[in-house]
A and B are shown apart, each in its own frame.
Chain A
């Protein structure tokens, strides 16, 4: 279950990846696993507790609340970001005339509905979509074989090590590091003991499919891929079967879009659940739509244009996301170890 969820979380941002090398991806995976260590460890030490509750036990009510607010903000921001990406995607590729608010509203409706149904439904829908996506990626892989050029991967070591590291670091934070959201959700998984394994498996699976996708994109588009905002979309545009089946890019785009819905709903779900726990509410459900509305507004405010978004993903993100993804869980873990917290109540 969580395998799928994790993958689902990571899938959508592949439109944002345009690195001309697959190596950054592997680097990102390695980094992602490292990043996943602190929070999974935390969750294993405090079984059945979410990050919010852990923060409170570890840091005490006041500082803990601060940390919790920070993580909720990050989740919130993540949802807004993903939403912004996908809405931009829609308005630039398929629906060039439609105002953005139409998508925002419909987006909100679907995501809100999914959230209200709860994490189980999200996971199941995701599972379904994932199967479709895998088939689709593999299928299109075959379809583009005739225009696939292996030479497009050459030269192998064209970018300098520092560039590679920087790009790799970028991939760690976006998309791999975003897994930290699961810190808010892990306790709700069925097989609690296997949380860490599930997260790692999810990371690897996601990396595998991102890799396949990247290989297709680079192989088809070559250097040309660099100039596009959504290279995958462009690669699918190249499919042409016997001059009849052309311009099929709409279909994969829509599937990715659906995955985008899932990603945003997970973020929204996590954010509202976190807020509910923070405020000691009985249920998160009434929070879904207000937070959703805020998220949409935030999406429009933070990313008014595509330039800002690209800048954000490529430059700002690595530094901005670092504290949320690595620092806070690490701090919490440290504090927990120092205060020897987990032992007594953790095993109960």
Chain B
């Protein structure tokens, strides 16, 4: 398998060497020749516009601007380039000897983004990226005016991670908007964006973001190194990157996390993680990612910590159920009937009576049917999708039972499992895989089969690493300090260290347990208001 991949990689290497024939080109002196160059490179595509005009300085100089329609702002081009150069220029005093480009740059063009460039390929990139290139006859350099503007989706609340409280903004497809969203959350100079371009054909801009002074530099370097080694011709979505740089490509467990929420991304960045933003994708990648992250919903931090802890435990329970329940059901009904309370056993036996298939097959088949219904519901237009679910759930579920094809308890178990699997959407795919495997194992060997399956899974989880960080930490290896955001959701003032598992710098968020004490005089004379926090702090210091 690996060898096969390697061969592919090598093939791609050769491919790269043949590609990009225009590397190293420089501009000619003649405007016409330059335009011809662009025509040759960009073809006769109707969206590439070349607008010739005369520069009305002392003498008429021929010039042209090149841009791609739809990627630039017409208004900016008119206001900042065409109007100044064609009309305002008449008033200017320009001596023929001096540097024309420099003069235009300084005195005429009013756009905010402006650069001089004499090599050809970057100019092409600029045009394709939505900038406008100004070519002037007799000049071996061109001006690149930043005029990027295109139709964007507005900032909306992401559908995938809905919260009840907290901010409602979500990342969009536009990279700049996304970086801006992050900047708005973290107004700290240490937030670093490093840009690179990946994908030979798509030339996708990718930004690596991290907070300097918090993130572990080794991890940052590792992320950058892995990104640089990617050699493919298209990156259309964040997942394209994931599959290339993930630690365990065959593991179903995601060692790189996704988010569409700037608040989540900001929180993760400040824990010391690295984010990768991909242009044209509203999902950004967070790494290293731990197993436990899937259970930490942004709402946890917006609710009271006691309630959040309770909900988190419910989530653990639901996740356990989502992959264990069918297997347990199979094991109990076809191997370990002694565990079922007698009255329940009798009603289950009555329900099973007369159904044609063994329980394993029922469970697996119903599970598959459910997945099909779900898939159909997701892919179709929303109103039809709902019809599908109703048909699937009510009609099939009800009919199958009353026809005596499948026992009612099986339908109950499968339905319950289906619901629980939506509680932790980020690990849902694993839940589905595990669920079916465990159910089959349970069908072969009962509870022993389940144990074998779980041991394999556990061993796999224990061996996984995400960018050097053990995937199952802080549970194994145990890091007691990190459990404050795993076993419970501790009050924010008590989460005074960043996750130790990430081994970042500056592990302290604030002083231990330091809350804002009440400044109103205490009513109980024997107990100053800030006492509990201080006392604990002192204890801590003494221990050190």
Contacts and interface: CB of A to CB of B under 8 A. Distances in A.
Give chain A's interface residue range (CB within 8 Å of chain B). Answer: 20 to 34
A240 B462 CA distance: 35
Contacts of A117: 459, 462-463
A287 interface: no
Contact of B477 (A124, A244, A254): A124
A247 B472 contact: no
Interface string A84-120: 0000001000110010001100100110011001101
B247 to A, nearest CB: 15
A34 interface: no
B336 interface: yes
B445 A106 contact: yes
A258 interface: yes
A245 interface: yes
A262 to B, nearest CB: 9
A106 B452 contact: yes
B476 interface: yes
Interface in A311-327: none
A258 B455 CA distance: 7
B475 interface: yes
Given A110-B455, A245-B341, A246-B341, A128 B475 contact: yes
- The DSSP consensus for interface residues of chain B is helix
A261 B339 CA distance: 24
Contact of A258 (B338, B341, B451): B451
Given A94-B447, A254-B451, A125 B458 contact: yes
- The DSSP consensus for interface residues of chain A is helix
Interface string B426-470: 000000000000000000011110111011101100110000001
A121 B448 contact: no
Nearest to A247: B338
B336 A121 contact: no
Contacts of B338: 247
A110 B462 CA distance: 14
A90 B456 contact: no
A106 B454 CA distance: 13
Given A127-B477, A250-B336, A113 B341 contact: no
A248 interface: yes
A257 interface: yes
Contacts of B476: 124-125, 127-128
A281 to B, nearest CB: 22
B478 interface: yes
Contacts of B475: 128
A94 B339 contact: no
Given A94-B447, A102-B445, A121 B463 contact: yes
A96 to B, nearest CB: 11
A257 B451 contact: yes
Contacts of B448: 90, 94-95, 103, 106, 254, 257
A296 to B, nearest CB: 15
Interface string A71-89: 0000000000000000000
Q: Which of B335, B339, B458, B476 has the most CB of A within 10 A?
A: B476
A103 B444 CA distance: 12
A129 B459 CA distance: 11
Interface string B278-301: 000000000000000000000000
Contacts of A245: 341
A261 B455 contact: yes
A95 B476 CA distance: 32
B520 to A, nearest CB: 44
Interface in B18-39: none
A106 B455 CA distance: 12
Contacts of A114: 455, 459
Contact of B478 (A102, A127, A243): A127
Nearest to B339: A247
Contact of A124 (B336, B455, B462): B462
Contacts of A120: 462-463
A254 B478 contact: no
A113 B459 contact: yes
Contacts of B445: 95, 98, 102, 106
A90 B448 CA distance: 9
A206 B493 CA distance: 37
A128 B462 contact: yes
B80 to A, nearest CB: 61
Contacts of B478: 127
Contacts of A129: 458
A121 B456 CA distance: 11
B460 to A, nearest CB: 8
Nearest to B343: A244
Contacts of A121: 459, 462-463
Q: Which of A102, A109, A110 has the most CB of B within 10 A?
A: A110
Contact of A94 (B336, B341, B456, B459): B336
Q: Which of B446, B451, B462, B470 has the most CB of A within 10 A?
A: B462
B223 to A, nearest CB: 24
A232 B33 CA distance: 91
Interface string A234-272: 000000000111111010001001100100000000000
Q: Which of B470, B472, B478 has the most CB of A within 10 A?
A: B478
A248 B339 contact: yes
A257 B447 CA distance: 11
B459 A244 contact: no
A188 to B, nearest CB: 15
A124 B447 contact: no
B451 A244 contact: no
Given A94-B448, A254-B448, A125 B455 contact: yes
Given A95-B446, A110-B452, A124 B472 contact: yes
Contacts of A243: 341
Interface in B466-502: 470, 472, 475-478
A106 B463 CA distance: 20
Contact of B459 (A102, A125, A246, A254): A125
Nearest to B336: A250
Q: Which of A110, A127, A128, A254 has the most CB of B within 10 A?
A: A128
Interface in A116-138: 117-118, 120-121, 124-125, 127-129
Interface of A: 1, 90, 94-95, 98, 102-103, 106, 109-110, 113-114, 117-118, 120-121, 124-125, 127-129, 243-248, 250, 254, 257-258, 261
List the 10 closest A-B pairs by CB distance, nearest first: A124-B462, A124-B476, A247-B338, A244-B341, A121-B463, A121-B462, A117-B463, A128-B476, A254-B451, A125-B458
Given A110-B459, A128-B458, 20 more contacts: A94-B336, A94-B448, A95-B335, A95-B445, A95-B448, A103-B448, A106-B445, A113-B459, A114-B459, A117-B463, A118-B463, A120-B463, A124-B472, A124-B477, A125-B455, A127-B476, A254-B450, A257-B451, A258-B454, A261-B455
15 contacts: A94-B447, A95-B335, A95-B445, A110-B459, A117-B463, A120-B463, A124-B472, A125-B476, A127-B477, A245-B341, A246-B339, A247-B338, A248-B339, A254-B451, A258-B451
